[in-house]
Amino acid sequence: MPKLNTEQLMERIQNRIHQLELGEEVAAKDIKALLNAEQQQQLADALAAQVELKKSKRARTDDEKQALGWKSIREVRLDVLRAALTAANDGLLADYERRLNEKEVRQANIYLREYSEARKADKSVFAAQGAANNALTRAALPRIDGQAVRSMSKRDKEVFEMEEELKRRIRSEMTAEELEQLDILEGVERHEKTPRKARKWTLWRGLFS
């Protein structure tokens, strides 16, 4: 299975939580697939602890079970999945930045490779630049020359939607003072002649540094 990004992971964890809350059966492997090694160990330890607890401390009524800390397998799984969901949400911004950096590195590698190959083929600097930028267009990446592609690719749409969703999440957690600061920063950028996307993201990120 391809590695999930944070948004995909959160969505799948939420789906499993919803299934468990409804009392549906969920295979152990389907839960394990959404947990990292540390979280898998936490789940195993919590289940083992419940086995020992129920051996050592008997309970007859639901009140006694609750008082002693008895939990069903479903309840233990829910605890671990909810903790995993919180951890994923806490790492959402860092994961987005990682993917953004990977995209920029890929963009640079493709451009330099295509440019070098074109120059080795005795193409002019101008022609080599054009070839390199065309390679970026084929890879659904922004062109170095700033030329806009007429239609937005599926990948670009996904990146744009991901960025907008992240901004909505960040805004929803901001205080009134932080929102005011962000509005001021965005207002400054709108008046610049050549706003830069990288700088815009830096303004967003600066509120959380």
Amino acid code (one letter) for 41: Q
Helices (H), 121-175: 125-138, 154-172
Confidence at residue 74, expressed as pLDDT on a 0 to 100 scale: 94
**Residue 95 near residue 5 (C-beta atoms within 8 A):** yes
Residues, the chain: 209
- 26-35 per-position pLDDT tens digit: 999 999 999 9
Confidence at residue 32, expressed as pLDDT on a 0 to 100 scale: 94
Low-confidence stretches of the chain (pLDDT beneath 50): 193-200, 203-204, 207-209
Please state, in angstroms and rounded to a whole number, the distance separating the CA atoms of residues 52 and 29. Answer: 23
Confidence at residue 68, expressed as pLDDT on a 0 to 100 scale: 83
Q: Is the pTM of this model over 0.85?
A: no
For residue 147, what is the DSSP state? P
Short-list 100, 91, 102, CA closest to 169: 91
Confidence at residue 55, expressed as pLDDT on a 0 to 100 scale: 85
Please state, in angstroms and rounded to a whole number, the distance separating the CA atoms of residues 63 and 70. Answer: 10
Residue ranges per structural domain of the chain = 6-90, 93-173, 175-209
- 132-179 per-position pLDDT tens digit: 888 888 888 888 887 775 555 566 666 666 777 776 777 777 777 776
Please state, in angstroms and rounded to a whole number, the distance separating the CA atoms of residues 78 and 72. Answer: 10
Confidence at residue 57, expressed as pLDDT on a 0 to 100 scale: 82
Confidence at residue 81, expressed as pLDDT on a 0 to 100 scale: 96
Confidence at residue 2, expressed as pLDDT on a 0 to 100 scale: 58
Exposed e or buried b per residue across 146-181, where buried means at least 16 C-beta atoms within 10 angstroms of its C-beta: eeeeeeeeeeeeebeebbeebeeebeeeeeeeeeee
